[in-house]
Amino acid sequence: MMLRVLWLFAAFDAALLLDTGMLFPRESSSREVKALNGLWAFRADRSPNRNQGFERAWYKSSLAETGPVIDMPVPASYNDITQDATLRDFIGWVWYEREVTVPARWITDGLRVVLRVGSAHYYSVVWVNGVKVTEHEGGHLPFEAEIGTLLREDPTMPCRITIAVNNTLTLQTLPPGTIQYMNDRTRYPDGFFVQNINFDFFNYAGIHRPVLLYTTPKAYVDDITVVTDFLDNTGLVRYNVSVQGASSATVKVTLMDKGGHCVASSTEPSGVLKVVDVSLWWPYLMHESPGYLYSLEVTDSESIDVYALPVGIRTINVTSTQFLINNKPFYFHGVNKHEDADIRGKGLDWPLVVKDFNLIKWLGANSFRTSHYPYAEEILQMCDRHGIVVIDESPGVGIKDIRSFGNASLTHHLAVMDELVRRDKNHPSVVMWSVANEPAAEMNPAEYYFKTLITHTKALDPTRPVTYVTYSNYARDKGAPFVDVICINSYFSWYHDQGHLEVIPLQLNTQFEDWYGKYKKPIIQSEYGADAVAGLHNDPPVMFTEEYQKEVLQNYHSVFDQKRKKYVIGELIWNFADFMTTQGILRVVGNKKGIFTRQRQPKAAAFILKERYWRLANETGTLPLWTKYPCPL
Ligand code: GCB
């Protein structure tokens, strides 16, 4: 037991490299949250250099005074909201604005008032009443600014929030991209340019996640980190709390079970809580009651601020052939997703989120990868509660150009990993970090790049394995020596050997034997699949029909079944649902490799996978009680 506790302490020292917190805003007896979702005024800066908004300081007055504005819902991508193709494909600065009146007590009571943007794609600048309060590089992750002093300057004035967002990608952004000007005036009009990207999803832009105002007292809980373990029946919750603005560093922490009973408590800012008769956090289909969450209630010494963090107690370990959750082998039978839907693009949408979880559970899937960027925190909270296991991926997708392996790129990538780990470190559902998808890992600079990135991520969080997802040749992959788990994408009989389904078993077998033979690490088939246009049929199968997609899957499955007894620890279908991409001759109104359509209706492949996943669950897990009764989900 003592050794375990020491190990937990060691884990923490490294995690403390992150200094300020990014706790999800939660209401409590000391905190209020006000959502600024709904309609905002919106204006795209269509000036030739896209810079008129800054030159004329659009943030200094109401946006409507600067020129024509339209209604824009938040959260949502702006691209598919209007009938205007030039706004759909717009590149450059767009401006959002709305006014908000805050309760007088927020000002008179001397509270901290924080403005938080869940995510905006890609570069954002924020002003409050014309004063710049923050800027942030990168989509997919939250950023904040404390704005209380600005509100106090004139409490009678409604507060005007202006957010400028720019979706321009460069060789140093994540994902990378380039702007290409077309200078041949016989073929392109003056000023014509395109944005080139190396990733296969539509580059949706705008304010994608909720914008919130929240309050805390002046002395407040800034960050909490938990790392969990257990020994026999005793759970161990090693925690570290940082409080800002208080004279004394003492805190009160109380761990409550689901029934609201206190199971452990302490008055130290860091320590280990022991939980007798622990209820562990288990994945869906691995236990009768998956997703068990305790609540860690934290207050500062004077009980002025109160924050409650959900905590799942579980362990993760990786051997050369297995992925262990709570010391039991876990087999990923899951999906890759996208944040993507009709009209709202990448905007967070609760009906869609809940529908997707119902489909995941219907399918018998126990996991997903957040391909190819961090998903909304609200989605990870659902995973915690439902026991859906997550491989949490950074936006490191499309790193193909050698200039994207330079110092500036690496520095930004390290900063993004800091932000990602800081945001998601406490989610029990998150079991592994993926630092990138399909980088050009055969290039020489990839070795230093991935060694640095993976070492850094492990220092941030020594409790979770780290991987990146590869598509390169096993012998030339420069980053594979540094990962804990090998994740491989392959598309046999799709991007090559078209129409030859019969080559899949041989090629897949070779793939697994080569990679395992060289690295002796467990392998996840992190992508495989085929496009199928829903309703298109042909037998014998032909590419793009539902029959072909089905047979691709079945051919892969026969090999998975041999190898999962050895070192293959998971299979994730590409993709959960059809999704939008840029236009191109390989895409039929988007990528059609979904087993569900974009509107979430099943194709034939969904039933194949459902049958398989439930069979795997029956073999490897414990089905929840409700599956034993004729009770529909
Ligand atoms: C891949 C990529 C994914 C693509 C997929 C495809 O390897 O990781 O982003 O969408 O292939 O369908 O080509």
90-117 pLDDT per residue, tens: 999 999 999 999 999 999 888 999 999 9
What band does 626 get if pLDDT is binned at 50, 70 and 90? low
Judged by average pLDDT, the poorest of 38-52, 101-115, 618-632 is: 618-632
User: What's the mean pLDDT in 183-189?
Assistant: 97
- Quote the percentage of the chain above a pLDDT of 70: 95
What band does 1 get if pLDDT is binned at 50, 70 and 90? very low
481-528 pLDDT per residue, tens: 999 999 999 999 999 999 999 999 999 999 999 999 999 999 999 999
User: What's the mean pLDDT in 140-165?
Assistant: 91
Work out which ligand 1 atom sits closest to the CA atom of 586: 13
* CA separation for the pair 409, 387 (Å, rounded): 35
Look at 30 and 158; give whichever has higher pLDDT.
30
Q: Which CATH superfamily is domain 317-620 in?
A: Glycosidases (3.20.20.80)
Work out which ligand 1 atom sits closest to the CA atom of 593: 12
Instruction: Find out whether 454 and 482 touch, Cβ atoms under 8 Å.
Output: yes
Instruction: Find out whether 591 and 202 touch, Cβ atoms under 8 Å.
Output: no
Indicate if the alpha-carbon torsion angle 186, 188, 190, 191 is positive or negative.
negative
- DSSP for 497-540 reads STT-GGGHHHHHHHHHHHHHHHH---EEEEE----B-TT---SS
What CATH number should be reported for the domain whose range is 220-314?
A: 2.60.40.10
Q: Given this model, what pLDDT does residue 624 score? A: 67
Catalytic residue among 97, 419, 438, 527: 438
Structure tokens given for 397: 């997708």
Q: Given this model, what pLDDT does residue 561 score? A: 98
Instruction: Find out whether 605 and 595 touch, Cβ atoms under 8 Å.
Output: yes
User: What's the mean pLDDT in 294-309?
Assistant: 91
214-223 pLDDT per residue, tens: 999 999 999 9
Q: How many CB atoms lie under 10 A from the CB of residue 141?
A: 25
Instruction: Find out whether 25 and 212 touch, Cβ atoms under 8 Å.
Output: yes
Structure tokens given for 551: 């047979």
Position 236 pLDDT exceeds 70: yes
User: What's the mean pLDDT in 586-592?
Assistant: 97
- Cα(471) to ligand 1 centroid in Å equals 10
Residues with CB under 6 A from ligand 1: 200, 372, 437-438, 471, 489, 527, 574, 591, 593
The mean of the pLDDT values for the chain is 94
Work out which ligand 1 atom sits closest to the CA atom of 471: 7
Q: Given this model, what pLDDT does residue 39 score? A: 98
* CA separation for the pair 168, 562 (Å, rounded): 46
Helices marked H in 135-273: 148-153
Q: Is 272 left (phi over 0), alpha (psi -120 to 50) or beta?
A: beta
Judged by average pLDDT, the poorest of 75-79, 212-216, 451-455, 628-632 is: 628-632
Can 438 be counted among the known catalytic residues? yes
* CA separation for the pair 409, 574 (Å, rounded): 28
Structure tokens given for 329: 């082998």
Pocket test for ligand 1, best of 489, 580, 595 (most atoms within 8 A of CB): 489
Peptide bond into 217 cis (omega under 30): no
Helix (H) or strand (E) holding 96: strand 93-100
Q: Which CATH superfamily is domain 32-167+203-216 in?
A: Galactose-binding domain-like (2.60.120.260)
Helix (H) or strand (E) holding 207: strand 206-207
Laid out side by side, the sheet with 294-300 consists of 262-266, 251-256, 294-300, 306-311
* CA separation for the pair 597, 506 (Å, rounded): 30
Pocket test for ligand 1, best of 198, 199, 200 (most atoms within 8 A of CB): 200
Work out which ligand 1 atom sits closest to the CA atom of 531: 12
- DSSP for 346-384 reads TS--HHHHHHHHHHHHHHT--EEE-TTSPPPHHHHHHHH
* CA separation for the pair 290, 384 (Å, rounded): 9
- Position 77: which residue type? S
What band does 4 get if pLDDT is binned at 50, 70 and 90? very low
User: What's the mean pLDDT in 314-337?
Assistant: 98
426-464 pLDDT per residue, tens: 999 999 999 999 999 999 999 999 999 999 999 999 999
User: What's the mean pLDDT in 145-173?
Assistant: 92
600-623 pLDDT per residue, tens: 999 999 999 999 999 999 987 667
* CA separation for the pair 375, 148 (Å, rounded): 29
Q: Given this model, what pLDDT does residue 20 score? A: 87
Q: Whose CA is nearest to atom 4 of ligand 1?
A: 200
267-276 pLDDT per residue, tens: 999 999 999 9
- Cα(591) to ligand 1 centroid in Å equals 9
User: What's the mean pLDDT in 315-344?
Assistant: 98
Q: Given this model, what pLDDT does residue 627 score? A: 64
Residue with tokens 């997919």: 140
Q: Given this model, what pLDDT does residue 18 score? A: 52
What band does 246 get if pLDDT is binned at 50, 70 and 90? confident
User: What's the mean pLDDT in 46-56?
Assistant: 97
- Cα(337) to ligand 1 centroid in Å equals 11
Pocket test for ligand 1, best of 197, 591, 592, 598 (most atoms within 8 A of CB): 591
- Name residue 391's beta-bridge partners: 369, 432
Work out which ligand 1 atom sits closest to the CA atom of 489: 7
What residues contact 13, with CB distance under 8 A and at least 6 apart? none
User: What's the mean pLDDT in 16-29?
Assistant: 84
* CA separation for the pair 602, 335 (Å, rounded): 14
- Position 311: which residue type? V
* CA separation for the pair 384, 310 (Å, rounded): 9
* CA separation for the pair 178, 65 (Å, rounded): 33
Instruction: Find out whether 557 and 579 touch, Cβ atoms under 8 Å.
Output: no
Q: How many CB atoms lie under 10 A from the CB of residue 271?
A: 18
- Cα(200) to ligand 1 centroid in Å equals 6
Instruction: Find out whether 263 and 276 touch, Cβ atoms under 8 Å.
Output: yes
Kindly list the domain boundaries of the chain, sorted by start residue: 32-167+203-216, 220-314, 317-620
Position 323 pLDDT exceeds 70: yes
Q: Whose CA is nearest to atom 7 of ligand 1?
A: 489
What band does 176 get if pLDDT is binned at 50, 70 and 90? very high
What band does 317 get if pLDDT is binned at 50, 70 and 90? very high
What band does 566 get if pLDDT is binned at 50, 70 and 90? very high
Exposure pattern of 552-576 as b/e (b: 16+ CB <10 Å)? bbebbbebbeebbeebbbbbbbbbb
* CA separation for the pair 328, 512 (Å, rounded): 23
* CA separation for the pair 247, 251 (Å, rounded): 11
What band does 15 get if pLDDT is binned at 50, 70 and 90? very low
